[in-house]
Copies of this chain bind each other. A is one copy, B any other.
Amino acid sequence: MEKTSYLLVCLISCLILSFLASSWFLPTKPELPGCSKYAPWCTASKNRIFSKTGFSLQHKSTDHSTETPQHPLDPLTVQEINTVRTILSSYEPFSSTIPSIHTLSLDEPDKLQVQTWRKGDPLPPRKAAVLALLNGQSHVLTVDLESNRVTSHVINPTSGYPMLTTDDIMGAAKVPFSNAEFNKSLTARGLSSSNSLCITPSAGWFGPNEEGRRVIRVQCFATEGTSNFFMRPIEGLTLTVDLDKLEVVKFSDKGIGIPVPKSSGTDYRYSAQEKPPQMEPLNPISIEQPKGPSFRIEDGHMVKWANWEFHLKADQRAGLVISRAMVRDSETGELRNVMYKGFASELFVPYMDLDESWYFKSYMDAGEFGLGPAAFSLVPLNDCPRYSYYMDGVFAAADGKPFVQPNMICLFEKYAGDIGWRHSEDPLFGSQQIREARPKLTLVARIAATVGNYDYIFDWEFQTDGLIRIKIWVTPYSKDEQWAGGLLVYQSKGDDTLAVWSERDRPIENKDIVLWYTLGFHHIPCQEDFPVMPTVSSSFELKPVNFFEGNPILGAAPAFENDLPVCRPSASS
């Protein structure tokens, strides 16, 4: 029923990001605080200022404690998460021991229910999908928030375990320090427990003796003299830890004699810079909209801008989910379905290095850690331009309590000085000289997920001509200059894949299509990456082909001087 002739698809179910990285990479766990620990965050995000740099981490403070769902696809509210927790705590199988909650999110209604729902209609039954771990078993539950009952409960019959919790990660990271061999290794390097810390690289099962148990590798760093401990790895020192018993399964130190990199030059903070870069000073520049942005956000999650409407929400695993993207036909005014659901299904980082302390690094950052909690608060004016709207995420911690990930999504109108369409006519032929041009305006929804020493920026960009661009920016660290040039640089824009899809253009008309689009990077470290590299990006586009009857923005007005803002420099600049 979703009429479309979009070049690629009318539906993306998954966007797989395959990050083939060769640089030093150690993902830490995402920030998944329990409410007890981060009380102020639990039901309201507060406005905090970093005095050192002077920018605010967010503009507004939203009270989530009273939120109620407005749309079938709205994420679980604080109240709903609390209700689910209450239901589970009185659920008979868990009466003796409360399991640890690894996933607690909306169990989305069927597509047809969502599509036929209209504003004002009662919401379809609200349900929660829960993944809980108890005594080494994964419990998959559905909790009905109308009947307040567990309506489905199976124990995962196959192998594999749910997403890691903060408790898992923090627990495993502490284990080494009670291990004699480990402490001997620290001492041998002139380190101690007071100036070193450990984190957990990717989980996984490697070999029969790891089957049927949750194990994880633990690696460590020297912390002294830097805010950037990733630059000071204790190379070759790897422990395998049992996540449930919290004990060392295997100890390996092949790194004696490998010096720990020094801390000098590793601090990237503005407050730590001694001299500005050698360049002419830049005058302030800003995207200005004194009348405010042109988009509206209705009922918390419905975004309306120009000829676009879509549902935008935070997601614990995917980070950000776009649902029910619809574009208004420039001729008929009809609101037409384009994409039912779009999100990142995984962020895959295989190192493909056989070394004993590297072979297991084959991350699935979305599935193992979750991109949502890794999407820390965006920095206004620097992560997102002025006039951005910031959206929080509401997730469940390991104890089942809700917590707020403040300002993890920004939404902004983008004008880069580019051209939407143009044409000139030569006066020697045409009856008159013609110069027609239109500025290019787009709407961007963005998150920036920090997984360990990597930052991933996800942009979903909507153009008034009907095109959707999915652009990923990455800023991995390099280990150090020793790595430079060891491999080839190749950053694929993925167009070969697009080409393949476009060949299938005709057959997709009026069909529901699921696209797994793999967008790949291959990064070779170089000096310019140190200690934090400039962003590099890759993208792909969903483009309407014979979807509209003509150029949908032909009738758009040009920009006129007398419509533009009147600005003056700020007092301070």
Known: A55-B560, A437-B379, A563-B573. A286 touches B415 (CB 8 A): yes
Q: Kindly identify which residue among B436, B466, B533, B570 contacts A562, using a CB–CB cutoff of 8 Å.
A: B570
A568 within 8 A of B: yes
Q: Is A157 an interface residue (CB 8 A)?
A: no
User: Interface stretch among A65-73, A314-322, A342-350, A540-548?
Assistant: A540-548
Residues of B with C-beta under 8 A to A282: 294, 306, 413, 441
Asked if residues B227 and A432 are in contact (CB atoms below 8 Å), the reply is yes
**A418 within 8 A of partner (CB):** yes
Tell me which residues from 273 to 326 in chain A have a Cβ below 8 Å from any Cβ of chain B. 273, 275-294, 296, 304-307
Query: Is A46 part of the binding interface, using a Cβ–Cβ cutoff of 8 Å?
Result: no
**Distance, CA A330 to CA B414, complexed state (A):** 30
12 contacts between A and B (CB under 8 A): A56-B561, A268-B436, A277-B553, A278-B307, A282-B306, A284-B564, A286-B559, A287-B287, A379-B437, A423-B475, A528-B550, A528-B551
A434 to chain B, nearest CB (A): 6
The answer, among B268, B439, B475, B529, for a CB contact under 8 Å with A382, is B439
A439 CB to nearest B CB, Å: 6
**Distance (Å) between the CB of A60 and the closest chain B CB?**
14
A119 within 8 A of B: no
Copies in the complex: 2
Contacting chain B: which of A210-218, A237-245, A499-507? A499-507
Nearest-neighbour CB distance to chain B for A172, whole angstroms, equals: 13
Whole-angstrom CA separation of A106 from B326 in the bound complex: 54
Are A291 and B283 interface neighbours, CB within 8 A?
Answer: yes
Interface residues of A in 20-63 (CB under 8 A from B): 28-31, 33, 50, 53-57
Instruction: Annotate A377-401 by CB proximity to B: 1 below 8 A, 0 otherwise.
Output: 1111111111010000000000000
> When the two chains form the complex, which single residue of B385, B455, B551 contacts A417, counting CB atoms closer than 8 Å?
B385
8 Å CB contact of A277 from B268, B291, B554: B554
Of A286, A432, A544, A548, which is in contact with the most chain B CB atoms at under 10 Å from its CB?
A286
A490 at the interface (CB under 8 A from B): yes
Are B417 and A166 in contact (CB-based, < 8 A)? no
Q: Interface code A410-424, partner B: CB below 8 Å = 1, 0 otherwise?
A: 001111111111111
CB distance from A35 to the nearest CB of B (A): 15
The answer to whether A565 and B569 touch across the interface, beta carbons within 8 angstroms, is yes
Residues of B within 8 A of A419 (CB): 382-383, 448, 457, 473, 535
Contact pick for A535, options B330, B422, B464, B573, CB 8 Å? B422
Q: Is the CB of B420 within 8 A of A535?
A: yes
| Cα–Cα, bound, A41→B383 (Å) | 46
Complexed CA–CA distance, A553 and B228 (Å):
17
Residue of B nearest to A573 (CB): B563
Q: A478 to B553, alpha carbons, bound, how many Å? A: 16
Determine if B414 and A417 form an interchain contact, defined as CB atoms under 8 angstroms apart: yes
Contact of A570 among B223, B284, B556, B563 (CB under 8 A): B563
Contact A426 B438 (CB under 8 A): no
* Residues A170 and B560 in contact in the complex (CB < 8 Å), given A291-B283, A307-B279: no
Contacts of A268 in B (CB 8 A): 423, 436, 554
Given A379-B437, A485-B505, A570-B563: A384 in contact with B417 (beta carbons within 8 A): yes
* Given A330-B279, A552-B277: A455 and B493 interface contact (C-beta under 8 Å): no
**How far is it, in angstroms, between the C-alpha of A489 and the C-alpha of B544 when the chains are bound?**
12
Tell me how far the C-beta of A332 lies from the nearest C-beta in chain B, rounded to whole angstroms.
Answer: 7
Residues of B contacting A149 with CB < 8 Å? none
Closest residue of chain B to A454 (Cβ to Cβ) is B423
If the complex has contacts A436-B268, A438-B382, are A572 and B565 also in contact, measured as CB distance less than 8 A? no
Closest residue of B by beta carbon distance from A490 = B499
- Taking CB atoms, residues of chain B closer than 8 Å to A566 are 567-570
- Assess the B277–A284 pair: CB atoms within 8 A: no
A279-B306, A285-B294, A416-B417 given; name 15 further pairs at CB < 8 Å.
A28-B429, A29-B428, A265-B550, A276-B555, A278-B330, A284-B290, A285-B289, A285-B441, A288-B288, A290-B569, A383-B437, A465-B528, A491-B498, A527-B545, A528-B551
- Which residue of B is nearest A430, CB measured? B227
One digit per residue, 1 when the CB lies within 8 angstroms of any chain B CB and 0 when it does not, for chain A 439-456 equals: 111001000101001010
Docked complex Cα distance between A280 and B457 (Å):
28
Q: In the complex the two chains form, is A283's CB within 8 Å of B287's CB?
A: no
Is A134 an interface residue when CB atoms closer than 8 A count as contact? no
Q: Nearest chain-B residue to A530 (Cβ)? A: B550
Candidates B291, B432, B485; contact of A569 at CB < 8 Å: B291
**Which of B281, B412, B553 interacts with A534 by CB under 8 Å?**
B553
A573 touches B475 (CB 8 A): no
Task: Enumerate chain B residues within 8 angstroms of A464, measured Cβ to Cβ.
Answer: 277, 279
User: What residues on B are CB-neighbors of A413 within 8 Å?
Assistant: 282, 285
Contacts of A228 in B (CB 8 A): 425
Cα-based distance from A563 to B568 in the complex (angstroms): 11
Given contacts A280-B305, A491-B495, contact A382 B558 (CB under 8 A): yes
A376 and B285 form a contact (CB under 8 A): no
Chain B nearest CB from A163 CB (Å) reads 16
